[in-house]
Structure 1
């Protein structure tokens, strides 16, 4: 493996030059009086609203403006690059629904909730863009109230559907929240019949949150028909919350129900952990079980470990829970092992059910078992033991025309750090520094699953170009330019027969476009700022 003795990251900023490409983004912030997400005739602008231009990764504010008396705004920047707009509503205002209707010039373009709350989607600004005046934002100001409610019931069979004879549950705490889950608006408890009700501020977007009593948990969301199903998430980031729903000026909703269950009957979950010699995610004849692997049973929300077992000499395990209820399995891979691909092929009895390529590495997907289930024996996990080395690489370059394609004459990036990570983005495997041609090589054990990463400093003034542009994977950029996987490639799967994989490139985009005469100076600056020395260990 290579050991980096000294290496920098792309922590430089290019000064604007005569060839920088100025642009303007804008248009209008308006009062969406009827809350339909569309700017209708007669709906006025909202003055005094702050609108900011930020980098696509949301780490740096580049410029800002305030809407004028008519609600108009314009922010200026320098491209090419990837950017977002951020809107800060005045106190008492909410953002209306996003991308409603078919006309992008009349809708609202900002997320009203979620991880991108108050932001637009990333905007790719090409060198030839002068202005984009289709970026509007609708705001809503609650002025009245609307009814919200309905039922929390005992879902005795855990199927997520209100069946005859399943009673309401009294005394359950129910809360009303705004859509982004930043403010709790009201609290109540269910009646003797399991009914709850709020007078919610309207118009606007809100959520309901249901707090399960001790010993109870949520049943599956979205089972059966809308009128009889549970509307509250049983796991994930929105656990115990409903999806956001819209309240108009005329009416509310009395259809937000929640099923709760108290597990009472034992259930056994199992089957086998095996060594997937060919890393195809399928149990083939002759592939042996792996002994001594820890397997854990958790609730679906991963808040409580319910049981633990260790695989026997044949790789078999069994853990016990209580039904009805929701669960996840966790398989703890022994040192040196990786997870095989999950859900390969069409036969669930011979595939691997444990994820290995994300933040959920080692976990199964949530699964729900009803009160009539005694045993489940198709939860398997494939492990891979890498045994040979393969090279992964190719090239970093400056994508001066921001088309996402490496073309003749575009400058290579020397002295940039490139990292190889495991597929779950948890473990750094190898590191290299690009040479004078922008080329890098990192080494990976095969079979296995990996990702390439190029780390960029937050104040570098550098962004990644668009990913997977064009039809030729040999000359495009393969790193995510924004989002949770910013700077990482997609998962790269290497079989045991792979010696080299050399199509993993990255296009970098300076915030200012340099003149051709400055390209040599930029390359020298890159080498100066990001120089690294490497030695083979």
Structure 2
């Protein structure tokens, strides 16, 4: 006798499944059998084989079973892919897969480490078992996705399936490492057929530009989630790239020239008109803005004559040119739209100089013969010539008299080799012989020029403002040695200025005439004696120079701060109860956008704000800076952008968005002793603590439109949501369109079976909810203000003309966490049924109500249920009996749907006419009364259903039944046969009463 131990060689399918239920995916299991006697002794061919515990002969038979699975391969643990993360996995072997094949995956990393960056190449070889025909060891081949540009609708997605299956898919739009964010489930049980399936997705406007990951799962049963097991099919993960649509810029330029022969054509030897300013305007006369919505700055022409405005949106533009004094526009005025010549004059005269006709710029249509591409028009030129009246000029240079490393040359009043020009923008004034200011100019590469002057006496001054706080020459002093006291001596490259900066550094009077020095050098355009604007050399004095000496003492440090805050109401002003914003990265840059350095030459490290939102950069040299702020995800920049220099308000927002979407301040200056004092920002005047930026979180509003069965204005647990209600979010005025945080109009919502609605991505502010319920619904009592009553069980709507609407209410968050959602804005509606008609005297006894038959007055009619019990209306009030009037009419309204019975007590002596018709047959003129065994009169049960009642009964209302009439025979002698005129009056009276009855029903 023998028995089998361990697992049998032959096992049933049921027992196999029982064993496999505890097996991990893609795990190999081993089942073994061993044969021994029933008493436990060995029956091997070698006796005592088991005696030592180490058999010398293996009497076991084993089989190995492999359960093949396909796993996802997005980077784990960021995304759940491995078996330890309950990763998405599909059992193989059914022939359902995506693309050309699917092979098995181990579900673990061979090295035991994390799965990193493996999407689209989970294997380097085809693992067995495999299904289909795998190519190059990669089974991620079933999905092809077109370019994912932010905000683009209908992006093509092509999915190849081996057999019919249901597709569920996700794309991580916000790149936060999961697929649970808004709109990230892009397909839900989409039915695929065998072969190529063409689908599409919409890329949301909030999608984050850069690399992200997508997961596609298809199985026969469908309903697959981000994780977990499916009994067939395949999971494919992809690394995708989200990009931003770049709009091609257009540009315009080219040449402002001195037209010496006045022929309107550019000729050899004619040069650029130095000092002319060129301004770009829109065709309607408003300022032009570039693709970043920045004002296009004015350009000043140098000796090349060239100008160019770039990064422009398509549109119509006008080029305005202001020439130096004494110059007028030459012949021409040719339309640049119709004439693409690059040598003619396109300007006509205007009040300030000249301007072109409107020039249209369109991508891909601009001239291809002007030296650039078809997105740029470089044919817009303007020529000028000098008027015949003799004109004069005076100029030349301002330099730093520091000796250029040779101490004996410092402050010697002469411009020595290596000494640099002052910075651009130093202010120069030209005064007449009485000290009145004639013109102003600023240095460019150290040079200045006043042209278009009449002969006479003039004085040139470096203004005192150059040396004051926050000015370019703060700390500089006058060159005091070797001064030339008489500038008319025409000695070049020496200092002609006075020595007191508080009054400005001024030359002596210079007399301009026809005998000015010639061949002076250097000049702004590099040609000896040429002032660059066409003035005759003998009428131009280019020898009036100024030397300045730089400060010696090292400047004290300056600092800047102060706050990044949660702007709860998004108004750009920090209120006392608004809190700091934690997690914002604040960076200090120079005016050119490079990382700032402190006084020790070290890079200034960016700071991340704590709970108080504060930041502070210290130990800085004086200079021009800008601050950038990268806010935490989910926050948006408030109104603001005021200049830090010009606005010292310590509670406003100074940031604007740049072209990349980064918040930053305008460029501001920090200078020792000039910053806001203690009374403004709480510290000394070497620190500016007014550079603040506000951000707000996105908000949401909901929640329920419900059917108020008992019309009490309170949500009961048994009352359902109302399907088909149209819910619209408006501004506080109840009319204006609302825009979300991305600037898009907020669409209305039609409620589903749960009655829920939700408006998301909203800015803080004041709103109102407008509701249009389905036809036949009436507003429940309520109308509580959502601001003052935050109950989530009441009705907030009030009736307005054309619909129903809440009072305006405010939504905001002071800390960015609480108050970001208001889900208590609800509105209830109800519907009711009714019945009625009249009691009449059946004069001819035929059981039919004729137009001439009068009503039965003073009859009592009572509404009860089918058991004869009193009933209540939708408000819960007991329905009271009614006593008929002269015409015998009655009506019971505001009833619930259900079955009812009418009981009638007529006046004494009145008996019921023939009839007893079914009251549910909707016949208008029959008698529905029956006489019960106890002698009372009632109707048969009447079923009232909203929307199913007759509309041919006089009120065209499917919620009322006005066909339930009762005919009676009057006692003998109680009626007088009417005359013909009485018959007429009776008919007229009945018609009028019917009209009044119908009007009462409508009211």
TM-score bracket for this pair, using the shorter chain length: 0.3 to 0.5
| Greater RCO (CA < 8 Å, at least 6 residues apart) | 1
**Could you tell me the TM-score, scaled by structure 2's length?**
0.22
Structure whose alpha-carbon radius of gyration is higher: 2
